[in-house]
C-alpha cells in the first residue's frame, strides 16, 4: 500500500475516535479536490473540508516540519491543468491534515496534525515574504516537478487545530 492508501485506511478507522469527525464523503473529481481537498467531514462545529497529505520521513527530526508543496508541475504541465497546485487552489478547504510515517514503511502514522488551512497558508507566505530561511527541495514524482517547502511546526502553533501521536514525545501542543 502507498503512504496515501495507508493514511486513508487509518483515518477511515480513526476520524471519529481521534478527531471527533465523521466522514461524509470523499471527493472523487479533480475539480472538487483542487478547490475543496480530499474529504468532507461533520464535526460538532458543522461540516468541514480537509486536504489530507501523507509523508514518509527518513529521520525523526523531520516530524517537526510541515511539508507544503509550494509549486506543482513546475516544468510546465501546470499550463494544461490550469493550476500551480493545491497550495494556491484550496479556496474551499478548512483544514490541512498531515500524516507522517516514521519510519516510512510503518503501518500507522507516527504523528497526525490538523492545521487551519488559510491561517497556515498565510503564515507560510508571510515567512517567505519576510525572508525566513526555510528548507526546500524538488520532488520529481506525482504531478511532476514539485517544489516543496518545510515550515517548522514551532512557527505554526497558532494554526494547529488538533494533533495525535503514537507517542507523547511527538506532540507539540495539547489542543482541544
Comparing CA positions, the residue from 38, 37, 19 lying closest to residue 175 is: 19
Tell me whether the omega of the peptide bond preceding residue 103 falls within 30 degrees of 0, making it cis.
yes
Tell me whether the omega of the peptide bond preceding residue 99 falls within 30 degrees of 0, making it cis.
no
pLDDT digits (tens, 9 = 90+) for 9-57: 999 888 888 888 899 999 999 889 989 999 999 988 899 999 999 888 8
What Rg, from alpha-carbon coordinates, does the chain have?
15
| Tally of CB atoms within 10 A around 117 | 25
Give the domain ranges of the chain.
3-169
The per-residue b/e assignment along 146-160, b for 16 or more CB within 10 angstroms, e otherwise, is bbbbebebebbeebb
**pTM value > 0.85:** yes
Amino acid at each position: 500500500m502507498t503512504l496515501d492508501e495507508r493514511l486513508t485506511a487509518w483515518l477511515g478507522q480513526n476520524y471519529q475516535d481521534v478527531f471527533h469527525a465523521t466522514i461524509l464523503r470523499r471527493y472523487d473529481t479533480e475539480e472538487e479536490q483542487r478547490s475543496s481537498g480530499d474529504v468532507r467531514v461533520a464535526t460538532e462545529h458543522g461540516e468541514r473540508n480537509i486536504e489530507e497529505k501523507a509523508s514518509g520521513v527518513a529521520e525523526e527530526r523531520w516530524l517537526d516540519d510541515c511539508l507544503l508543496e509550494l509549486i506543482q508541475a513546475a516544468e510546465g504541465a501546470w499550463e494544461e491543468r490550469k493550476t500551480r497546485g493545491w497550495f494556491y487552489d484550496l479556496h474551499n478547504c478548512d483544514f490541512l491534515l498531515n500524516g507522517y510515517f516514521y519510519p516510512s514503511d510503518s503501518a500507522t502514522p507516527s504523528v497526525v496534525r490538523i492545521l487551519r488551512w488559510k491561517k497556515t497558508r498565510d503564515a507560510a507566505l508571510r515567512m517567505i515574504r519576510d525572508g525566513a530561511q526555510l528548507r526546500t527541495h524538488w520532488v520529481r514524482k506525482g504531478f511532476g516537478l514539485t517544489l516543496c517547502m518545510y515550515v517548522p511546526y514551532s512557527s505554526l502553533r497558532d494554526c494547529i487545530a488538533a494533533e495525535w501521536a503514537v507517542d507523547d514525545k511527538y506532540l507539540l501542543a495539547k489542543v482541544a
